[in-house]
Each structure stands twice: as C-alpha cells, then as structure tokens.
C-alpha cells in the first residue's frame, strides 16, 4: 500500500471534516459572479479564492480544497502560491484535472468529459505545484430516453483512466460521476440512473486496476428532478441515497463525499445530517461547491471591505456541515454562531 496516498485519503476524510470545491471553470465562475454583478477578471477570481482560503479557523472543518488550474498558478497578495496558502493552514490542496464536457458524438443531449490526452504530464506538474489529490467530473443527464448505456459506459471508462493515471502519479483521485438534478424526473428514476452509473463506474475501475482503497467517490444525493412538483422529505432522501450507495459501492472504498449539485445550502446540510446518522462501511463527507460558497460570495460581491463578513459566512457553513457529518446539525445552528 502506498503510504502517501493512504495518508492523504485518511486526512481528507478525517472525522468532522469535508472538502471545499472551489474549482469552478472560467464559464462557471463567470456565471456565479455575473449573478451578483461581479466582473470575472483574473484578479477578481484570485482575490475571491484568496478570501476563501484564508478564512480563519477553516481547517477545523475543511480537510482539503479543490482548485482550478488558473488558481493553482496564482499567488496570494503576499506572493505565496495558493497551494501553499492552503497547505500552511493544514488544508490539503487538490486539483480539478478534467477539461470540462463536450457533446457526445451521435448521442444528442449527452456529454463526455475531456482531458485524458495530456493528463499524465499535467499530473506531474500539479504534483510539483503541491497538489495531493485530483478530481474528474463526468456528467450524466436524465431526460427522455437518456442517459444511454453508451454515455454511461464511455464516461465510466474515462473516469477509470483518470483514476489510474492519478494513482500512477501518487495523487488520490476523486471519481465524480454526477447525475444532474436538472429536469422533472422522479426520485425513483434518479435512483435507477445513479445505480446503473455507479455499477458501470466500479466495473471500469476494476478493469483499469484502480486501487479502491486509494480513491474517493464523489456523488450526488438521490433526489427528484428540480422541476418535479413533489420535493422529497429529508428522511426519504437519506434512506434512498443510502440504499443506492450500499447496493453499488464496494466497502473497500474508504470514503464517499457528496456534491451539492444546486440544492440550497441549508437543505443540503439537513440532508447530509440525515444521511450521516446511518451505519455504513465508508466514511461519509461533503465536497460542496455552491452549498459552501453561496453565502460568502453573496456577501463578498468583489469588495475588500466585505472580506471578514464573507469569511465568517463560509466558516459558519463549513461548521454546520461539519456538525452534519456527526449527525448533530440542527436548524438553531443557523442563527447561533460560535
Ligand atoms: P456543487 O457542490 O456546487 O455541486 O459543486 C461540487 C463540484 O465540485 C461539482 O463538480
């Protein structure tokens, strides 16, 4: 067993700690900034990420942060590389290594994730820049007659190649097959698609000789589509998500981290809290992007005067989610800051 990957995995899923996803690509961060009237310049993105990473007490609740390529090459106001800013605070730097999605040829409405071509060389560079783990996101869309088996299997094969290459470079892969919440599908349909996807991913990981003990799975909760009229009860989400994961994810996988996927921050925390009360073979945690950052970004708005308040909002969300990992979150925590 490789001891560096082993210790990275253990640190990432340390009790009460989760992962901050701050790896928004150029189009995604632009969309989030634009909604608040912030211009997405290189300096604005740098200042925003520096604000997040230098949040006081963040490492009490956050074990690792996923960076975007641009951020990995940027420095703090004091001239310190961003990965070092995090590492100095006891937060493990990681990196999104996929190059986003494109249309899957001949399969209307479906996507394939790109980035394998140059990956081996880029992984060496990222390691030198301080990354200790990587992430690759595959996107599965639910709609009329989709996803197809082809879309699921080609994305699973790409995830498995990514994971094998990451482990070759001694970087812990976070394997993320995201089943999108977009649409009006039922919760049953989400469970069916997520379960087929996860099974395909684990077959591909096995074929590619990926060491399950040295990876993490990042997945969504089982939810009805966001346009479905009946939204699910917290307990039902927990029960269904756990059933799906127990059936499809081998116990050798050390940890499963949830993405937030567009759920509101408080709802994501409530559901995480309910899921984490169960006895399961893996460590469960969060790897939220929007559900951790949204309140902080809304307060920050691009102004340095707002940094302290924005950081407090991020620290508070991270703390609420940390409590949720222990099944100890309650609605009162939203008003009682400690
Ligand atoms: P969200 O929590 O906003 O879905 O982002 C997590 C992520 O990393 C998606 O790839």
213 is a catalytic site residue: no
Ligand 1 within 6 A of CB of 259:
yes
Catalytic residue among 50, 110, 176, 191: 176
What count of other Cβ atoms lies within 10 Å of the Cβ of residue 227?
A: 10
Which CA distances in Å does 253 have to 31, 86, 142, 216, 228?
34, 26, 26, 7, 32
Does the predicted TM-score (pTM) go above 0.95?
yes
Ligand 1 within 6 A of CB of 94:
no
Mutate to test the pocket of ligand 1, among 289, 291, 295 (most ligand atoms within 8 A of CB): 289
Mutate to test the pocket of ligand 1, among 101, 287, 293 (most ligand atoms within 8 A of CB): 287
**pLDDT-derived band at 337, boundaries 50, 70, 90:** low
Contact 227, 186 (CB under 8 A): no
Q: What is the pLDDT of residue 193?
A: 98
Tokens of 56: 């006081």
* Per-residue pLDDT tens over the stretch 209-265: 999 999 999 999 999 999 999 879 999 999 999 999 999 999 999 999 999 999 999
* Per-residue pLDDT tens over the stretch 2-49: 789 999 999 999 999 999 999 999 999 999 999 999 999 999 999 999
């Amino acid at each position: 067993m490789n001891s560096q990957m082993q210790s990275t995995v253990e640190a990432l899923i340390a009790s009460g700690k989760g992962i901050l996803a701050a790896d928004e690509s150029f189009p995604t961060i632009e969309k989030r900034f634009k909604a608040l009237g912030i211009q997405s310049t290189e300096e604005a993105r740098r200042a925003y990420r520096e604000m997040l990473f230098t949040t006081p007490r963040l490492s009490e609740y956050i074990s690792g942060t996923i960076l975007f390529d641009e951020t990995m090459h940027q420095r703090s106001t004091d001239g310190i590389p961003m990965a070092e800013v995090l590492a100095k605070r006891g937060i493990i730097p990681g990196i999104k290594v996929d190059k986003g999605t494109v249309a899957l040829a001949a399969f209307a409405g479906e996507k394939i994730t790109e980035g394998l071509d140059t990956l081996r060389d880029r992984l060496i560079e990222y390691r030198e820049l301080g990354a200790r783990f990587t992430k690759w996101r595959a996107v599965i869309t639910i709609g009329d007659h989709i996803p197809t088996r082809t879309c699921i299997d080609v994305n699973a094969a790409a995830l498995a190649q990514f994971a094998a290459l990451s482990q070759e470079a001694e970087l812990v892969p976070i394997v993320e097959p995201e089943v999108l919440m977009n649409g009006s599908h039922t919760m049953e349909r989400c469970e069916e698609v997520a379960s087929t996807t996860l099974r395909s991913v684990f077959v591909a990981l096995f074929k590619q000789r990926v060491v399950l003990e040295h990876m993490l799975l990042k997945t969504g909760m089982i939810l009805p589509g966001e346009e479905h009229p009946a939204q699910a009860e917290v307990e039902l989400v927990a029960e269904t998500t756990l059933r799906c994961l127990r059936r499809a994810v081998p116990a050798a996988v050390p940890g499963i981290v949830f993405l937030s996927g567009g759920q509101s921050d408080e709802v994501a925390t409530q559901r995480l809290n309910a899921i984490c009360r169960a006895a399961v073979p893996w460590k469960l945690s969060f790897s939220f992007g929007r559900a951790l950052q949204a309140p902080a970004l809304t307060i920050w708005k691009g102004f340095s005067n707002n940094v302290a308040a924005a950081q407090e909002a991020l620290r508070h969300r991270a703390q609420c989610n940390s409590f949720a990992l222990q099944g100890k979150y309650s609605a009162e925590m939203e008003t009682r800051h400690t």
